[in-house]
Amino acid sequence: MDYKKNVEIWLASSKVNEEEKAEIRAMDDAALQDAFGRNAEFGTGGMRAKMGPGTNRLNRFTLGKANYAFARFLLNSVENCREKGVVISHDNRFHHDEFKKLCADIFNRLGIKAYVFDALRPTPELSYAVRKLGAAGGVMITASHNPKEYNGYKVYDDTGCQIVPDAIAPMLEDLAKLPDPISLEMDEYPTKGETIVIGKEIDDPYVELVKGCQMNPDLDKKGFKVVYTPNHGASYETAIRVFQEVGYEIIPVVEQCNHDPAFGGTKSPNPEVAASWERPIEYMRKYGADLAVMTDPDGDRCGLAYVSSKGEIERLTGNESGALLIDYLFSERIKKGTMPKRAVMYDTIVTSSLGEDVARSYGVEVESFLTGFKFIGERIAHYEKLGEGPTFVFGYEESYGCLIEPFARDKDGIQAILLYTEMALFYKRKGMALDEALEALQAKHGYHYTTLFDTYFEGAQGVDIMNNLMASLRENPPKKIADIDVVEVRDYLKDEISFADGSKKAIEGLPPSNVLKFVLKDGSTYAVRPSGTEPKVKFYVETKGDRKEGLKEKAAKMNADFRAQAKIA
């Protein structure tokens, strides 16, 4: 893409205001290449980019073009789309009101009804609202857990699920054929659609359904203190209401409860980042709390910190908390006689196998999908439409996302923090801390250690570098990692497993994805996946053993050796 030509188009256009032009003129050549040298693309979580002028940025032009393509897609694929309408929500990020109005205006221009929330709402409530209102689709304006410079755009189908690649392909083809975002002239339907403001009529039933997720609502909550932070995001009002109505003593992190788009009260809005926990942990110590729970800005991910058996404050990874919650939910379901005869749990190809082992021990089937909760949501809808098959009982990803009850079709951080809180209280009443519960679980099913390493590839050449890395790994995969033989190479782009003896086997049931997973002789794994939402590559390491000692060190050794072989700095 000729970035200089794109710059000229933007600077010459009367649609671009003087403030935006001044911002463009202030960029150096490297910044111009990054902003104008490619288009912002849809990835595993929709379109996500830094805000600002440029074709590779999130702004009123690039977002408008994407939303126009989505509107055309819905008109071509959903019967009575104009009458059914589209639901729009957003989190706390910069330009959210501008972007919300822009999307509603484009839908209205094409004769489509737009439902807009009266204020910010979390992603899972947007998903629920699509289903509740019988809408043709949904839009969530959010960059999830990304830093403040980012915003994003996620699209949902009429089941309340993010649209999977095969289904959204016609939209992306249309998007690619449309003129550049500055030159684009949008069609107009003779009868303009209306915009309807929604709020309490969605909040109330959603809150009741979340409360209904509890397994043991009558547990004694007296003296059990929970610190909660929404990271300045969209979950605050809903989550506080849920916690208060079910009777928990909640201590909100006041500095992080205002909807500040600059995230001024936290060092990171991402629950996976240790720095994001500094203030909640301070609150735990100050108030003598048993637990801290956190949602990310759009409320689909969560994390937790707890007081360990040693009296120290510790955190669980998404793999650990997920496995613990699976064990708690499934054991309680069986005890209460509410486990379906044929139950299924969904996870992803980079999720720890501990959760799978736990689920199978309860007779629950397990299906694994590509990263992106949309694939889990689609599978739930598939069996619903089929009218037969296993019954969904849990779905989760390693990155702090899970779904307990499928009235929403995306990961639901509010469901999650409520059930994690209940689980921690359940174990406390049994005289156990969460580290003791995890130790007992791994003593039974085997010890697992998982960790994630990221490498960023910023700038105009970043994507090319990532693509070259993946191509090199496919051409010359490692034979050993940390002196342990690689016995399988799972290439999810080729849908093929290559074994050490030269034989091959097809991977069935998954769409192609640019992921490589190396399985070692001792059962440890190393997976490589370029992020679908940020300019980085993720490296997932899992080590296993009959004792936990040495597993962390082994993971570090595997990572160092792999990166040395792949020539990654």
- In the three-class reduction of DSSP (H, G, I as helix; E, B as strand; rest coil), residue 517 is classed as strand
Both tokens of 136, joined, read: 């043709």
List the alpha helices (DSSP H) in 288-433: 318-336, 353-361, 374-386, 413-429
Residue 195 CB contacts under 8 Å (≥ 6 apart), including other chains: 104, 108, 113, 114, 115, 116
Instruction: Compute the C-alpha angle 176/178/179, nearest 5°.
Output: 115
Both tokens of 373, joined, read: 């909760």
Helix (H) or strand (E) holding 557: helix 551-566
Distance CA 407, CA 415 (A): 11
**Is 144 annotated in the active site?**
yes
Instruction: Compute the C-alpha angle 20/22/27, nearest 5°.
Output: 100
Both tokens of 146, joined, read: 């990304």
Helix (H) or strand (E) holding 486: strand 484-491
**Beta strand pairing call for 391-397 and 365-369:** unpaired
Backbone angles phi and psi of 158, in degrees to 5: -75, -5
Do residues 91 and 233 make contact, with C-beta atoms less than 8 angstroms apart? yes
Q: Which of 127, 144, 524, 531 is catalytic?
A: 144
Residue 303 CB contacts under 8 Å (≥ 6 apart), including other chains: 271, 272, 277, 293, 294, 315, 316, 318, 321, 400
Query: What secondary structure, in 3-state letters, does 42-109 show?
Result: EECCEEEEEECCCCCCECHHHHHHHHHHHHHHHHHHCCCHHHHCEEEEECCCCCHHHHHHHHHHHHHH
- When computed from its CA atoms, the radius of gyration of the chain, rounded to whole angstroms, is 24
Do residues 133 and 87 make contact, with C-beta atoms less than 8 angstroms apart? yes
The count of C-alpha atoms lying within 13 angstroms of the C-alpha of 252, restricted to the half-sphere facing its C-beta, is 19
Q: State the catalytic residues.
A: 144
